[in-house]
Amino acid sequence: MVRYLSTRDPRAAPSTRSFAEVLLAGLAEDGGLYVPDRMPGLTGGIAGLAGLPYAEIAARIIAVFAGDAFPSGELQQLTAAAYSRFRHAAVAPLVQIDEGLWLLELFHGPTLAFKDLALQLVGPMFDAVLAGRREHVTVIGATSGDTGSAAIEACRDREAIDIFILYPHQRVSEVQRRQMTTVEAANAHAVAIEGTFDDCQDLVKALFADAGLRHELNLSAVNSINWARIAAQTVYYVAAAVALGAPARSVSFSVPTGNFGNVYAGHVARQMGVPIDRLVIGTNRNDILARYFASGRMALAAVEPSLSPSMDIQVSSNFERLLFELKGRNGAAVGETMRNFRRTGSMPEDDQAWRAARRLFSAHKVDDTETMQTISKTYARSGALIDPHTAVAVAAARADITAPGRSTPMIALACAHPAKFPDAVERATGLRPGLPPPLADLLERRERIVVLPNELGAVSRFIRAHARRAGATA
Ligand SMILES: *Cc1c(COP(=O)(O)O)cnc(C)c1O
């Protein structure tokens, strides 16, 4: 059975945890991220998945990661229930937009972004595991826009969970903000922080580092550092590859990247045996990853607002999981590198790791001008309206296709519904995309807005004051 260890575990024989433990904990106690002790293959390979419903493919893939966390049959029930809430029966349909180029539409869930694919499942998985243990948790997360609403939607009104989501004040779109601030649920709190997404992420890390708070409220994370989300995200890579002819034919993916969680899930799918040729990283002007892949230097710059706010990130948390592999699964070396990065804003260069990384991924920076051009060109060529994040993926895909020797089908991940970012889409195409029916009155709903300074004390006081219950209820 797969067990999990921290990317910063310095021991030669690391202590390991189960899927259920890793699901509930999110971040490891030493500040590292959990990774499997070995990458499991799929029993019987991926050929047997052709033609199966999405929920069934999800159950089979997640089963290899979850081990005995769920009694037999429960995972099937959880995936069937989670994906029945999607507005498209195929859950994650492929739409061809050009010769050799497809969109994988990941925005048919309740909050219109790809985060729903993982969180609609991870919320109920949390509840199921907690019910078995008679425990209560306080989920804390940082969001650059889309994770927050998806997490709140996945955890709202669940008995065993309180949820607090920190988002950067005035740096998310109106639709994104309203999807968090209009939720009427006693257990769900969206908190605007006077700072950037990276500040929010730092606050979450600091809250976790406070052992008192961590134990008193049984803190947990569902942001993209939670392994269960990565596991759930590998599913659409597998399903899309199989739909376009894998394992007989290889495919490539282009992924609009911020925290590196989504594209890392593609990497995991590849390690599980899916024949993926290219994994293309698209970044906006916040291009730390593109600069790293070009130069080998991972160096922080200031976060700048862009048309694709969910990618306005400098510290790509999930990159640490890749780093762990690149450094030969040496937790001590990863811990040292990450501490250095935190202290100085840049990672010590490691030529060997960089070369290995370039064999696995390519990266392209797409600025706002190119993003707008891509939205308008895509509409002109195919009639598809795409959001700015999707446009980054499409532009990066096109940049990569023109590189010599690429003939595999390219799948660009459509990570948000165009109506989530209607201003940019309207400016580029002249058409204003409307919100789909369940959200049609979002702009009229009443908001509950809380703004706090970028201060650990203020945030932890707010959480203590509003969490419904402390620790285990048993
Ligand atoms: C979250 C998000 C991203 C970035 O995904 P990561 O997993 O953080 O790399 C890109 N686009 C949209 C629409 C998102 O919501």
Q: What is the pLDDT of residue 261?
A: 95
Task: Considering only residues 152 and 406, tell me which one the structure prediction assigns the higher pLDDT.
Answer: 152
Q: Are 161 and 124 in contact (CB under 8 A)?
A: no
Class of domain 94-112+228-429: alpha beta
| Lowest mean pLDDT, pick from 57-66, 317-326, 395-404, 417-426 | 395-404
Residue from 414, 425, 433 nearest 94 by CA: 414
Q: What span, in angstroms and rounded, lies between the C-alpha atoms of 1 and 36?
A: 10
Rg (CA), the chain: 21
Q: What is the pLDDT of residue 23?
A: 92
**Span 117-142, pLDDT tens digits:** 999 999 999 999 998 899 999 999 99
**Rounded to the nearest whole angstrom, what is the distance from the C-alpha of residue 68 to the centroid of ligand 1?**
30
Q: What is the pLDDT of residue 470?
A: 54
Q: What is the pLDDT of residue 361?
A: 98
**Span 350-391, pLDDT tens digits:** 999 999 999 999 999 999 999 999 999 999 999 999 999 999
Asked whether residue 472 carries a pLDDT value surpassing 70, the answer given is no
**What pairing do the DSSP bridges indicate for beta strands 137-142 and 161-168?**
parallel
**Burial level of 133, CB count in 10 A (0-12/13-18/19+)?**
middle
**Rounded to the nearest whole angstrom, what is the distance from the C-alpha of residue 257 to the centroid of ligand 1?**
6
**Which H/E stretch holds residue 95?**
strand 94-98
Give the number of the atom of ligand 1 that is nearest the alpha carbon of residue 257.
9
Indicate the top mutation candidate among 175, 222, 237, 259 to test ligand 1's pocket, ranked by most ligand atoms within 8 A of CB.
259
Confidence of residue 336 (pLDDT cuts 50, 70, 90): very high
* Mean pLDDT, range 202-227, rounded to an integer: 88
**Rounded to the nearest whole angstrom, what is the distance from the C-alpha of residue 262 to the centroid of ligand 1?**
7
Q: What is the pLDDT of residue 468?
A: 86
Question: DSSP states of 427-473 as a string?
Answer: HHHS--PPPPGGGTTGGGSPP---EEES-HHHHHHHHHHH-S--S--
Q: Are 309 and 300 in contact (CB under 8 A)?
A: no
**Which H/E stretch holds residue 239?**
helix 227-243
How many residues are listed for the chain in this entry? 474
Q: What is the pLDDT of residue 403?
A: 66
Task: Considering only residues 103 and 225, tell me which one the structure prediction assigns the higher pLDDT.
Answer: 103
Q: What span, in angstroms and rounded, lies between the C-alpha atoms of 212 and 383?
A: 54
**Rounded to the nearest whole angstrom, what is the distance from the C-alpha of residue 312 to the centroid of ligand 1?**
9
Q: What is the pTM of this model?
A: 0.92
Confidence of residue 230 (pLDDT cuts 50, 70, 90): very high
CA angle 96, 97, 99 (to 5 degrees): 85
Question: DSSP states of 377-436 as a string?
Answer: HHHHHH-----HHHHHHHHHHHHHHTSTT--S-EEEEE-B-GGGSHHHHHHHHS--PPPP
Enter the tokens of residue 29. Answer: 């106690």
Q: What is the pLDDT of residue 406?
A: 60
**Rounded to the nearest whole angstrom, what is the distance from the C-alpha of residue 27 to the centroid of ligand 1?**
19
Q: What is the pLDDT of residue 223?
A: 67
* Mean pLDDT, range 218-227, rounded to an integer: 81
Enter the tokens of residue 438. Answer: 């369940």
Enter the tokens of residue 46. Answer: 């991926």
Q: What is the pLDDT of residue 144?
A: 79
Q: What is the pLDDT of residue 242?
A: 97
Q: Which residue has the tokens 């991940």?
A: 413
Q: Which residues pair with 269 in a beta bridge?
A: none
**Burial level of 47, CB count in 10 A (0-12/13-18/19+)?**
exposed
Q: What span, in angstroms and rounded, lies between the C-alpha atoms of 425 and 437?
A: 19
Q: What span, in angstroms and rounded, lies between the C-alpha atoms of 274 and 268?
A: 9
Indicate the top mutation candidate among 117, 119, 144, 146 to test ligand 1's pocket, ranked by most ligand atoms within 8 A of CB.
146
CA angle 312, 95, 86 (to 5 degrees): 70
Q: Are 283 and 311 in contact (CB under 8 A)?
A: yes
Q: What span, in angstroms and rounded, lies between the C-alpha atoms of 196 and 182?
A: 22
* Mean pLDDT, range 419-433, rounded to an integer: 96
Q: Which residue has the tokens 């501490």?
A: 339
* Mean pLDDT, range 173-200, rounded to an integer: 94
Q: Which residues pair with 17 in a beta bridge?
A: 4
Q: What is the pLDDT of residue 26?
A: 81
Q: Which residues are catalytic?
A: 115
Q: What span, in angstroms and rounded, lies between the C-alpha atoms of 277 and 362?
A: 11
**Neighbouring residues of 298: CB distance < 8 A, sequence distance ≥ 6:** 288, 291, 292, 319, 341, 346, 347
Q: What span, in angstroms and rounded, lies between the C-alpha atoms of 124 and 154?
A: 7
Indicate the top mutation candidate among 114, 167, 281 to test ligand 1's pocket, ranked by most ligand atoms within 8 A of CB.
114
Q: What is the pLDDT of residue 473?
A: 44
Q: What is the pLDDT of residue 255?
A: 98
Q: What span, in angstroms and rounded, lies between the C-alpha atoms of 415 and 423?
A: 17
Burial 437-461 (b: 16+ CB within 10 A, else e): eebeeeeeeeeeeeebebeeeebbe
Q: What span, in angstroms and rounded, lies between the C-alpha atoms of 260 and 229?
A: 12
Our answer on whether the CB atom of 284 is closer than 6 Å to any ligand 1 atom is no
**Neighbouring residues of 183: CB distance < 8 A, sequence distance ≥ 6:** 149, 152, 153, 156, 190
Asked whether residue 208 carries a pLDDT value surpassing 90, the answer given is no
Residue with CA at minimum distance from ligand 1 atom 1: 310
Give the number of the atom of ligand 1 that is nearest the alpha carbon of residue 389.
11
- For residue 335, what is the DSSP state? H
Q: What is the pLDDT of residue 254?
A: 98
* Mean pLDDT, range 13-33, rounded to an integer: 89
Our answer on whether the CB atom of 151 is closer than 6 Å to any ligand 1 atom is no
What average pLDDT does the chain have? 93
Distances (CA, A) of 116 to 15, 140, 299, 309: 32, 17, 31, 17
* Mean pLDDT, range 136-161, rounded to an integer: 90
Q: What span, in angstroms and rounded, lies between the C-alpha atoms of 138 and 216?
A: 10
Q: What is the pLDDT of residue 324?
A: 97
**Side chain identity at 351, as an amino acid letter?**
D
Q: What span, in angstroms and rounded, lies between the C-alpha atoms of 3 and 65?
A: 8
In 286-384, at which residue ranges do the beta strands (DSSP E only) sit?
A: 362-365
**Span 160-177, pLDDT tens digits:** 999 999 999 999 888 889
* Mean pLDDT, range 329-339, rounded to an integer: 96
